[in-house]
Chains A and B, each alone.
Chain A
């Protein structure tokens, strides 16, 4: 199914909740309102003809200039061999969105990773903990304005460049 058809079907089902289809790009994507992401995903998974049984990838993008964090869902269907990309814009100062863990179980880990590295809160998530970094790490490294902390647990993260050391 083409992105255009998916978009039209979604618009009919969820008026006002989907917008901004970009069909002429490499991976067609559309924007979904954060409040209805769970219903949209459920619809895309269950509706015959859509059958997006797989969440291929779930990640985020940080856009400090636009003051937003985008959560990006890559959906894929083995049966129809088609894909669609959903994007949700969240405010950068308080990014919160409902979890899709109930639809695709793999979202549990994907969402933990986004929480860890971007600081997006997934409401209703069963186990929202940091996954890559230690629990007491401060900051969200994949945000564009992230500043590396100077030391962690008494260990310095700064090293003088080797050449300077040798020249001294």
Chain B
């Protein structure tokens, strides 16, 4: 039992230990916190992860390079396209395989659509965690359209297995491209509507402004990535700063936290980065639809894919930030080692520190604002 605390009034109180999760609705998958609280104020929140550990890294050593692509989908089911791409980029770098130009554009289109879908889930469930039910339904409705588009592109709604070594599995047909264009035209006003509904809502703002502030130093030390890093005012985006694919040819802004309603790096800033990133993704998609070149969607890649011995680390800017695949080849058909470094894992590591001294209800806001995704933590 916890030690009792002298209050000086002759009455003693005790710290309370609560288990939040693993099936708590706000934990986005299966993860658990052991929370010590003094009344409603948290003194310690220790994350307990591993419930969804599927040993994706070990599986990587037992299947071929081509065969591993569907497994990467499962690393983060909300943004499977990015894991596909990061792994394929690593394999391509190792084997010095060219990607066709149309293939690159198909990748960017699919990825940005996926980013919109992932951010919609993130901001929608975030609202729900804080107690706003309606925006969740609105966000999910739009995401459903993205899933339909994805189904047209590659036949799957969540685990795509679309990006392959050398390009993409299937070309995107002109009809689908038209539909994507229509969807962007439809989505942009919806984001404004969403802002009226949720982002500008006084209750929502007051729940988030100034809560769980991440300083610049902590963001570096805990290696926060993606919107969580940018929320602390650091202008850093792999698409812009370590350019890959055709991103250097595309114009887009990198939104950062600006202390919009509270303090720099608070929960609202992180949320607000995601909203604006959806708008940037729309911009990127629109340019891609115009620039879409003709040609094959995938280059000729041998069925027996044997990259020379060596190692490489490929990063992409996933919705949850820097997703890195460290692939080591020993020259055989199977990877010697696949390491997946994900944004959620490092975001989870900071929760213990940020939760000290905040209210229990704010812990829920903190988890939501970091957009952690349990399967991506555990892999």
**CB-defined contacts of A27 to chain B, threshold 8 Å:** 311-313
Q: Which A residues, 97 to 156, have Cβ-Cβ distances below 8 Å to chain B? A: 104-106, 108-109, 117, 130-134, 141-142
**CB-defined contacts of B221 to chain A, threshold 8 Å:** 53, 104-106
Q: Pick the contact of A131: B50, B93, B223 (CB < 8 A).
A: B50
Q: Check if A26 sits within 8 Å of B312, measured CB to CB.
A: yes
Q: Which B residues, 322 to 369, have Cβ-Cβ distances below 8 Å to chain A? A: 322, 324, 326, 328, 336-337, 339, 341, 345-346, 348-350, 353
A74 at the interface (CB under 8 A from B): yes
**CB-defined contacts of A56 to chain B, threshold 8 Å:** 223, 313, 322, 324, 341
Q: Check if B310 sits within 8 Å of A25, measured CB to CB.
A: yes
Q: Pick the contact of B324: A57, A62, A108 (CB < 8 A).
A: A57
**A85 CA / B310 CA spacing, docked (Å):** 14
- Report B84-118 CB contacts with A as 1/0, cut-off 8 Å: 00000000011000000000000000000000000
Q: Check if A26 sits within 8 Å of B223, measured CB to CB.
A: no
Q: Check if B339 sits within 8 Å of A132, measured CB to CB.
A: no
Q: Check if A108 sits within 8 Å of B349, measured CB to CB.
A: yes
**A66 CA / B339 CA spacing, docked (Å):** 21
A61 at the interface (CB under 8 A from B): yes
**CB-defined contacts of A131 to chain B, threshold 8 Å:** 49-50
Q: Check if A105 sits within 8 Å of B349, measured CB to CB.
A: yes
Q: Pick the contact of B311: A26, A78, A81 (CB < 8 A).
A: A26
Whether A26 touches B326, Cβ cut-off 8 Å, given contacts A106-B222, A132-B53, is no
In this complex, how many residues of chain B approach chain A with their Cβ under 8 Å: the count is: 36
CB distance from B321 to the nearest CB of A (A): 11
Q: Check if B94 sits within 8 Å of A141, measured CB to CB.
A: no
**A108 CA / B94 CA spacing, docked (Å):** 30
**A104 CA / B218 CA spacing, docked (Å):** 9
The size class of the interface chain A forms with chain B is: 20 to 34
**CB-defined contacts of B222 to chain A, threshold 8 Å:** 104-106
B244 at the interface (CB under 8 A from A): no
**CB-defined contacts of A81 to chain B, threshold 8 Å:** 241-242
CB distance from A78 to the nearest CB of B (A): 6
Q: Pick the contact of A74: B57, B242, B313, B348 (CB < 8 A).
A: B313
**A31 CA / B234 CA spacing, docked (Å):** 31
Whether A109 touches B378, Cβ cut-off 8 Å, given contacts A57-B341, A81-B241, A132-B53, is no
Q: Check if A109 sits within 8 Å of B348, measured CB to CB.
A: yes
Q: Pick the contact of A141: B58, B241, B326 (CB < 8 A).
A: B58
Q: Pick the contact of A78: B218, B236, B350 (CB < 8 A).
A: B236
CB distance from A167 to the nearest CB of B (A): 25
**CB-defined contacts of A55 to chain B, threshold 8 Å:** 223
**What are 23 contact pairs spanning A and B, CB under 8 A?**
A25-B311, A26-B311, A26-B313, A53-B221, A54-B220, A57-B324, A57-B339, A57-B341, A72-B326, A74-B326, A81-B242, A85-B313, A104-B221, A105-B222, A105-B350, A105-B353, A106-B221, A106-B222, A109-B345, A109-B346, A132-B378, A141-B58, A142-B337
